[in-house]
């Protein structure tokens, strides 16, 4: 179940850490966020080392659908009501600048970058579309209403963002990785002050960025309460129509569509909370057979996303009292632009430069959101469940994922193969099954 990106790209390899080293900034995690942070810091003249537990982009990054857009479903009218116009405009502006940053960086790269409009549609809820358009007008962004879409089912219309983009993420990141100081197969087992302990050495750093998808340190930030994880599924189809843009249902259980430069249609959906029940690939296969009968599946894969309490990522200081330890997580299924926002913001924090977006994404904002109660209930219920199969992260009962043949944790999203080998964090060790 390898994504199409891995079939079309190769990465440079890097040695594992042997012995003790020092660096100004340690970046933990070799996905898109960690690589962008390491690249940005290196470009700013900072001595930076990236430590990856496995190989670069072997986690969630390699399984993205790679849509580069500031349009994160119909979210801005909700944020406007929740945070007010000043902070919401900062969030929108940060994401729009991230799209522009990719456009600038990709100009000299062969990474299938192409500008495309993005659309968020609803099946029946026209009111939410009107609310979003009014909110965007108030924020000074000119989105448009599109009444009909080239999708094989009726909708209530869509909100359109022009001049967004898509690309081949691994071609882009493989170029970025060249020239960086990287250690692969170097898991950070724990932090002792500002010293990272790995299996074959220690890394002493002045500052540390945790870019491990789900933050693995439980002592600070309470991310085990503020985050949960969500599974999504993708089919790559040939002989399917070119839809001319990127489309996603505002409903988290709906479908997404986008074509690749070599003519494949990426059909996404079947989503569910990790450890829960959902449609997975069955929903997508049924849809494709019904609406695109001439299409043929050439690839399928799944991905996992960290979801925050309020639909805004956590980017900034890891904890209230960790001035030299930083985090980036909770991207809510929009990892491309969020990773770029994180790289720019964290570089400024490391260099003690002012960044107007810091207050919009700071991790230590109010956690009093309805999702907090849901997360707490899931954790309590699964901690009390009778099961001998337990997650080594915090002891929650594991659930069998029959579609992917994995053991998944419904509390925090750690995943393990049939034999208990760790696939996804925040767990740091294999499960004893």
Q: What is the pLDDT of residues 281-299, one digit of tens each?
A: 999 999 999 999 999 999 9
Q: What is the pLDDT of residue 22?
A: 98
- Please state the domain extents for the chain: 4-64+171-225+310-361, 370-423
Q: What is the pLDDT of residue 8?
A: 85
Task: Check if 4-64+171-225+310-361 and 370-423 are the same fold.
Answer: no
Q: What is the pLDDT of residue 378?
A: 86
Q: What is the pLDDT of residue 174?
A: 96
CATH 3.50.50.60 fits 4-64+171-225+310-361, yes or no: yes
Sign, Cα dihedral of 344, 347, 353, 354: positive
- 228 CB-near residues (< 8 Å, 6+ apart): 273, 274, 306, 307, 371, 374, 375, 378, 411, 412, 413
Q: What is the mean pLDDT of each run of 10 residues along the chain (433 residues)?
A: 88 95 98 98 98 95 96 97 97 98 95 98 97 98 97 98 98 95 97 96 98 93 94 97 97 96 96 92 97 97 96 97 96 97 98 97 93 89 84 93 94 94 92 89
Calculated CA dihedral for residues 293, 294, 297, 298, nearest 10 degrees: -170
Q: Which residue has the tokens 């209403």?
A: 145
Q: What is the pLDDT of residue 271?
A: 95
Q: What is the pLDDT of residue 11?
A: 87
CA 373: distance to chain centroid? Answer: 23
Distance CA 359, CA 407 (A): 38
Q: What is the pLDDT of residue 27?
A: 98
pTM: 0.96
Task: Look up the CATH number of domain 370-423.
Answer: 2.102.10.10
Q: What is the pLDDT of residue 10?
A: 83
């Amino acid at each position: 179940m390898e994504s199409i990106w891995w079939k079309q790209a190769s990465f440079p390899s890097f040695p594992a850490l042997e012995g003790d080293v020092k660096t100004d900034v340690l970046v933990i995690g070799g996905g898109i966020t960690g690589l962008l942070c390491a690249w940005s810091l290196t470009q700013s003249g900072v001595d930076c080392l990236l430590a990856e537990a496995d190989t670069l982009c072997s986690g969630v990054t390699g399984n993205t659908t790679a849509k580069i857009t500031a349009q994160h479903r119909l979210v801005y009218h909700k944020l406007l009501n929740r945070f007010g116009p000043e902070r919401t405009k900062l969030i929108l502006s940060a994401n729009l600048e991230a799209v522009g940053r990719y456009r600038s960086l990709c100009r000299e790269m062969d990474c299938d970058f192409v500008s495309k409009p993005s659309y968020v549609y609803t099946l029946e809820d026209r009111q939410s579309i009107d609310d979003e358009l009014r909110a965007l007008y108030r924020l000074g962004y000119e989105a448009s209403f599109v009444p009909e879409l080239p999708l094989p089912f009726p909708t209530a219309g869509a909100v359109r963002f022009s001049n967004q983009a898509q690309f081949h993420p691994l071609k882009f990141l493989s170029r970025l990785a060249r020239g960086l100081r990287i250690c692969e197969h170097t898991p950070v087992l724990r932090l002792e002050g500002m010293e990272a302990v790995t299996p074959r050495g220690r890394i002493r750093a002045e500052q540390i960025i945790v870019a491990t998808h789900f933050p693995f340190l439980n002592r600070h930030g309470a991310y085990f309460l503020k985050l949960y994880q969500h599974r999504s599924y993708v089919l790559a189809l040939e002989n399917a129509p070119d839809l001319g843009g990127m489309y996603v249902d505002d409903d988290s259980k709906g479908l997404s569509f986008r074509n690749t430069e070599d003519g494949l249609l990426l059909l996404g959906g079947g989503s569910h909370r990790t450890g829960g029940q959902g449609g997975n690939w069955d929903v997508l296969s049924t849809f494709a057979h019904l609406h695109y009968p001439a299409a043929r599946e050439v690839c399928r894969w799944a991905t996992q996303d960290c979801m925050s309490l309020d639909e805004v990522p956590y980017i900034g200081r890891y904890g209230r009292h960790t001035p030299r330890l930083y985090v980036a997580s909770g991207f809510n299924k929009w990892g491309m632009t969020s990773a770029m926002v994180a790289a720019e913001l964290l570089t400024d924090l490391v260099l003690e430069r002012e960044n107007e977006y810091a207050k919009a994404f700071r991790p230590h904002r109010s956690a009093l959101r309805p999702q907090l109660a849901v997360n707490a209930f899931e954790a309590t219920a699964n901690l009390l469940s009778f099961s001998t199969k337990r997650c080594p992260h915090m002891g929650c009962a594991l659930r069998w994922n029959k579609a992917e043949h994995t053991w998944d944790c419904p509390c925090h999203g750690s995943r393990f193969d049939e034999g208990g080998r760790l696939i996804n964090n925040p767990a740091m060790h294999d499960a004893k099954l």
